[in-house]
Each structure stands twice: as C-alpha cells, then as structure tokens.
Amino acid sequence: MGPTLTFLGTGGSFGVPLIGCRCGSCTSVDPRDQRLRASVLLQWDQTRILIDAGPDFRQQALRSGIMGLEEVWLTHGHADHTNGIDDLRVFCFGGRVLPVRGSATTLQEATTRFRYAFRSEPDPSGVSHPLLLPKPLPESFEVSGRKVIPLPVHHGPFSVTGFRIGELVYLTDVSEIPASTFDLMEGTRILILSALREEPHPTHLTFDQAIAIGQKIGAEQVWFTHFAHGLTHSQMEARFPPSIRPAYDGLVVEFT
Ligand SMILES: [Zn+2]
Ligand SMILES: [Zn+2]
Ligand SMILES: [Zn+2]
C-alpha cells in the first residue's frame, strides 16, 4: 500500500452527536454519523504523522491502533485541535522527544497553554508529561523523502495552516483561501476541505462555499470534513454534487 491518510475524526468542534441534541444526525444509527473531533493520520514507509491532537485523540489512537508517531503537525491552536496534547506523552516513553510543527502563532499558543508538555527532559519529580519539541514551519520541508508545503488559510480572524503532501491537500477550519495559497495548490488531485454546515458562520465555510472551492480546484477526489450536527451522512451525500463526498471517521484514502 502506498501513502495513506486516515480520517481519525470528521466532526466540528462539538463533535457529532452534539451533547443533549436529539436531531436527525445526533440520533442517527449510521456509524458514519459518529464524528469525533477533526484529525487525520498520515502514513508512508515507516513514518506516522498526526495532524492535530484534539480532545478525542486518545479514543482515536486506540480505535485506529496507532502504535507510535514520528511527528505531530498542528493546523492551529483551537481547543478542538490541541486539547489532546497531553495524551501524546505515551509516545514519549523512555525520554523520546516528539517534534510538533506549526506556524509561529500556533506554536506560541500551544506552548503557552501546554507549557509543561514542551520540554526535552523528564520532570525530576517523576510526574508524567509529554516531551515535545516545537519546530517552526519553513516554506517547505521534507519528511522521509516527501516534500511538504504548508498552506496558510484564513479561519475568520485566525490563521490556519493546511498541508500539501504531493498531490494531497488537507485543509480544515477554513473561511477563505488567499490567492497565493491557491497558487500553491495547483495540481491537487485529492482535496480534503472543511465544510461546517448549511448556515453562514463567521469562521467556517458553508456547504455552498466549500462546494464552490472544491469545484474551482478541480481535484479528482474532494472530501469534506469538520461537520457540525444537522445533516446525516446520507443526507450530505445527496446534498453535495457527485464529485464531492463527505468523509467519515475511519475512512482511509490512498495518495501518491
Ligand atoms: Zn475546528
Ligand atoms: Zn443534533
Ligand atoms: Zn478552529
């Protein structure tokens, strides 16, 4: 098998079902309507990369059988993408230091909120904590022979980093893609893009906005993710054009 992307979570910040809600998607018995917070695992050769460590990370790691990680990349500092950072400590046993990449702003937020986790030496008290090494994001970098291009996008007033690995692009928590980033996405064959819901939102693309971007990019495969509750998976399949499909937790996409 070539390189793969596994969707560990495809839910918005609340996850689906939403606590206390009895709507159609929240009471659905379709397993694809159980959406943990948005995160993906990339794997090629012996390299495993986690994009975002949200509050459901422990459950996602157990469910997908993640045995180790070589790197963590953060799209931004919001709680639904970083509140699982503490659970990364299992991958730091024996004094192993795990690199965490993100934009300067994202690393600033993460290292402020999880100051105890960003250190390279175990605490002398013996208390358990992650050993994380913040690594800045250059314009492009290489991991295990593959070129990675960070993609800056807007998320309302916040900045988010998407990632391009070869022909694959992962973009979550998007409200707008600047023209310079569209240029970096030229030739994308597999696009993963966040599409929150039908109604307008100040920091997220609506379904219609995301569909317009998906069609503009013209990728062979377009998968939407980071969904709010409201529509069920099968309702979304009917709602989106045939060229655009809703992702679901556990879905594995192969790329080259
Ligand atoms: Zn989010
Ligand atoms: Zn609901
Ligand atoms: Zn966000």
CATH code of the domain in which 97 resides: 3.60.15.10
Ligand nearest to the CA of 80: 1
pLDDT at 206: 98
Provide the whole-model pTM.
0.98
Domain that residue 193 falls in: 4-254
| Ligand 3 center from residue 173 Cα (angstroms) | 5
For the chain, how many structural domains are there in total? 1
pLDDT at 180: 98
Is the pLDDT assigned to residue 1 strictly greater than 90? no
How many Å apart are CA 101 and CA 141, to the nearest integer?
A: 11
Mean pLDDT of 161-166: 98
* Ion ligand 1 — residues with CB < 5 Å: 13, 80, 173
How many Å apart are CA 202 and CA 119, to the nearest integer?
A: 35
pLDDT tens for 180-232 read 999 999 999 999 999 999 999 999 999 999 999 999 999 999 999 999 999 99
| Ligand 1 center from residue 35 Cα (angstroms) | 13
| Ligand 2 center from residue 229 Cα (angstroms) | 5
pLDDT at 64: 97
Q: Which residues pair with 187 in a beta bridge?
A: none
Question: Distances in Å between the alpha carbon of 4 and those of 101, 108, 212?
Answer: 20, 30, 26
| Ligand 2 center from residue 137 Cα (angstroms) | 37
Please say whether the beta carbons of 117 and 88 come within 8 A.
yes
Is the pLDDT assigned to residue 63 strictly greater than 90? yes
Percent share of the chain, pLDDT over 70: 100
